[in-house]
Amino acid sequence: MADEPDTSPGIEPDVPDAANVPAVPNVARIYDYFLGGHTHYPADIAAARRITAASPQAPLLARAMRRRPVRVVAAMTAEGITQFLDLGAGLPTQDNVHEVAARHHPDTRVVYVDNDPVVLAEGRPLLDPGRSVLLMGDVQDMAAVLDDPDLHTLIDLTAPLGVIVSGVVHFLPETPATAAQFTELRGQLRTADQLRRFFADFTLQRPGLVPLDDWRPDAPVPPSALPEPLIWGGLARKP
């Protein structure tokens, strides 16, 4: 019998007092549910199950999107990068950027950016003070993100910087305004060709632009855990 996709849900949360339970589902908490985390509530679980009913690949894609940044951060630290900017970071979970980077270099610094107050409230206590910070910001207002004084307390924009934009672009409208906000980070993306244009004159590193689990795999992924190649990723270096 062929392997069935693993779409098992996350951990059912300990529900707080009803007055404090969010009634509206939240993207970051839905991701958390798909990843088997603890920071989600009944509204998020219900939304995640509706998403899975419509698209059974969703939980597998969420997990693939979590696996790949671990390998990307390891590759960048191997190239000597010790500071990172993670845009649209979501809720901290296992193998966060600052944790993975610190395994390879003890002096790494990470700035996480998200536009969700839930992420800030629940994520900040989980960070490493002095080495990582979580800022309120929106990838559709990159000037404000890059001008934030708290960003500059950890990151030197004149030095090599690893920029991570993972699980974000499919939420953005395809408009000239959105594309303009990415000018400083190289463009707007959708199809594989558009993704390549996103990197512009940056040099794609091996193996190029590929499905998430094909990017420098470091361990076999069971067939039941492999999503369809619906989301692609790459790593590029500024010349």
Q: What is the pLDDT of residues 31-70, one digit of tens each?
A: 888 888 888 889 999 999 999 998 888 888 888 877 777 8
Which of the pair, 100 or 15, is modelled with greater confidence? 100
Position 139 scores a pLDDT of: 81
Q: In what order do the strands lie in the sheet with 109-114?
A: 132-136, 109-114, 83-87, 162-165
Position 7 scores a pLDDT of: 43
Position 195 scores a pLDDT of: 61
Tell me: pLDDT of 184 over 70.
no
Structural contact between residues 178 and 170, judged by C-beta atoms closer than 8 angstroms: no
- Reported as a pLDDT band with limits 50, 70 and 90, residue 177 is low
Average pLDDT estimate for 115-142:
85
Position 178 scores a pLDDT of: 55
Position 4 scores a pLDDT of: 37
- Reported as a pLDDT band with limits 50, 70 and 90, residue 11 is very low
Lowest mean pLDDT among 5-9, 30-34, 220-224: 5-9
Tell me: pLDDT of 2 over 50.
no
3-state helix, strand, coil in the chain (%, to 5): 40, 10, 45
Which of the pair, 211 or 107, is modelled with greater confidence? 107
Beta-strand runs (E) in 90-140: 109-114, 132-136
Which of the pair, 79 or 171, is modelled with greater confidence? 79
- Reported as a pLDDT band with limits 50, 70 and 90, residue 85 is very high
The fourth-level CATH superfamily of domain 66-237 is Vaccinia Virus protein VP39 (3.40.50.150)
Structural contact between residues 189 and 172, judged by C-beta atoms closer than 8 angstroms: no
Angle between helices 42-54 and 58-78 (to 10 degrees): 100
